Amino acid sequence: MTQNGRLSIVNPATEEGIEEIPTTGREELDDAAERARRGFEEWRGFAGLDRAEVFHEISARMRGHADELAGIMTREGGKPFIENRDEVTWTAACFDYYGEIARDSIGYLPAPIEPQQLAMVMKEPVGTVACIVPWNYPLLLAAWKVAPALAAGNAVILKPSEETPLGTRRMMELMEGLPEGLFQAVYGAGDVGEALVRHPGVDMVAFTGSQETGRKVGVTAAERLMRANLELGGKDPFIVCDDVDVEVAAQGAVWAACLNAGQVCTSSERFYVDKKVADDFVEASKSFVESLNIGDPMDQRTDVGPMINAKGRQKVEDHVGQALDRGAKLVTGGERFGDRGFFYKPTVLTGVEPSMRVMSEETFGPVVPVVEVDSLDQAIELANSVPFGLGANVYTKDFEKMLRCARGIRAGTVWINDPLTDNDAAPFGGYGGSGIGRELGREGLEAFQESKHVHIDPRVEKKEWWYPYGKGEEPGRRVM
């Protein structure tokens, strides 16, 4: 929450205030942009190997502070400590990965127009990149932007969410070895984010967040003719075929729906299960959900922590409430947990319809709505029926079905029998309303690079196709 130029950080597990921190003002933003520009110039002097070395040191420092960072992240964001410690490890791995691939990615040589010429494509930084991230994976989603942006030679100004700035603030202290000003953080809510996107010192924006905010950021970037990478929300389908161990599929499904209390952009939110195994799937999901430990996210035995805030929980209550009002059946859950903290019990629903909000809008909570399907074709058609396309999950042992899903589902990632496993070396992003652009992999580096074509002819000679044209014969070649 922002009040009088300060952010109040609240522990979602207890609803108690943790700390207040000042937000970044206009003059500080101007100063940050100026320092970023100077840092950018100094960073040019670092060879790829030097950059990689700095990245590996940052990564090692993060791993060395994993428990400390995870503790801060758990208190401010409510995600279980175990998941936050994993997040720190993935964050470190992302710096390692981009430190290395940036070393062999300065460009390439296309075939020139004439054999004695040299054509080069040089990959250059864009300038200063504004990175704006949400609260659900504050360090990881920052790293997916910051690491490739810096590796590509850019300066970065990062704005964490107003809900979770404290982990980022601590991470910034571990960023030793970079030129002064090259990587800075600013703090505040949407107003600070908007000022950053509009700032003339910013050359590109990389944004992760809701579709609603992403649209605003995209419009502002378009007005400025500035590049924008947008990673937005999802409504991921989860398909279960009849040839798998239903117990395993149900446990995978519940994990994919309830990880971080369902607050993952790639949370599975719609379950299409072959009718031959649907009853068993629902029964197995119910008993697995009911076996989970809900509670204090600092406790390492806790599976499901609180939601981020009252507003987030209210949205889940609205979606589940509307579904039940319209005839869906509650299998388990469907209510708050405990008397303080923003907890919501993992919930399984059946009898849901495509028109219900729980099946058409991003719920962002621990809900497993199950639909019986007659065939894989029907499941794929339903999977593609919403205006999102971030991720999708499939459970099957049949390779032909795997390929049908891989080809037929319109989503940036299709996970088969291993839900929600991201890979630094492969692109991540959304089709359709889930975003524009990709993070991770080579695509994730190229997002932060300009391409410059340099055409060199070592001979200083008059070309025969120049003026004058009227020499009575066709010129030997054309310029374009």
Enzyme catalytic residues: 231
State the Cα–Cα distance between residues 163 and 2, nearest whole angstrom: 10
Given 127, 234, 419, 437, the residue binding ligand NAD (CB under 6 A): 234
Structure tokens at 376: 């894989």
Contact string (CB under 6 A) for ligand NAD, positions 30-59, x = contact: ------------------------------
Least distance in Å: CB of 17 to ligand NAD? 19
**Is the Cβ–Cβ distance between 129 and 202 less than 8 Å?**
yes
**Is the Cβ–Cβ distance between 19 and 316 less than 8 Å?**
no
For the purposes of burial, counting CB atoms within 10 Å of the CB of 459, is it exposed (0-12), middle (13-18) or buried (19 or more)? exposed
Least distance in Å: CB of 355 to ligand NAD? 21
Least distance in Å: CB of 188 to ligand NAD? 7
Helix axes 190-198, 26-43, angle to 10 degrees: 50
Total residues binding ligand NAD (CB under 6 A): 30
Q: Name the residue whose CB lies closest to ligand NAD.
A: 193
Residue type, 127: G
Cβ proximity to ligand NAD: between 107 and 190 the closer is: 190
Residue 289: what are its φ and ψ, rounded to 5°?
-55, -45
213 binds ligand NAD (CB under 6 A): yes
The residues in 108-167 that bind ligand NAD, with binding defined as CB under 6 A, are 132-136, 141, 159, 161-162
- Give the pairing of strands 236-240 and 268-274: parallel
Least distance in Å: CB of 185 to ligand NAD? 11
**Is the Cβ–Cβ distance between 393 and 347 less than 8 Å?**
no
232 binds ligand NAD (CB under 6 A): yes
Task: Please tell me the total number of residues recorded for the chain in this structure.
Answer: 480
210 binds ligand NAD (CB under 6 A): yes
State the Cα–Cα distance between residues 416 and 97, nearest whole angstrom: 24
Given 78, 209, 333, 346, the residue binding ligand NAD (CB under 6 A): 209
Task: Using DSSP, state whether 63 is helix, strand or coil.
Answer: helix
Contact string (CB under 6 A) for ligand NAD, positions 323-362, x = contact: ---------------------------------------x
For the purposes of burial, counting CB atoms within 10 Å of the CB of 327, is it exposed (0-12), middle (13-18) or buried (19 or more)? exposed
Please choose, out of 35-43, 208-216, 322-330, 452-460, the segment that lies near ligand NAD by the rule CB under 6 A: 208-216
Least distance in Å: CB of 462 to ligand NAD? 54
Least distance in Å: CB of 198 to ligand NAD? 9
193 binds ligand NAD (CB under 6 A): yes
Cβ proximity to ligand NAD: between 98 and 364 the closer is: 364
C-alpha distance from residue 282 to each of 117, 256, 330, 450 (Å): 66, 15, 11, 50
Q: Strand locations in 134-185, DSSP E?
A: 155-159, 183-185
**Is the Cβ–Cβ distance between 155 and 43 less than 8 Å?**
yes
Query: At a CB cut-off of 8 Å and minimum separation 6, what does 21 contact?
Result: 6, 7, 9, 165, 166, 169, 187
Helix axes 66-77, 138-151, angle to 10 degrees: 120
Cβ proximity to ligand NAD: between 57 and 361 the closer is: 361
Least distance in Å: CB of 54 to ligand NAD? 26
Contact string (CB under 6 A) for ligand NAD, positions 250-289, x = contact: ---------------x------------------------
Given 28, 194, 317, 443, the residue binding ligand NAD (CB under 6 A): 194
Given 10, 101, 156, 197, the residue binding ligand NAD (CB under 6 A): 197
Least distance in Å: CB of 5 to ligand NAD? 15
Binding site for ligand NAD (CB under 6 A): 132-136, 141, 159, 161-162, 189-190, 193-194, 197, 208-210, 213, 216-217, 231-234, 265, 362, 364, 390, 430, 435
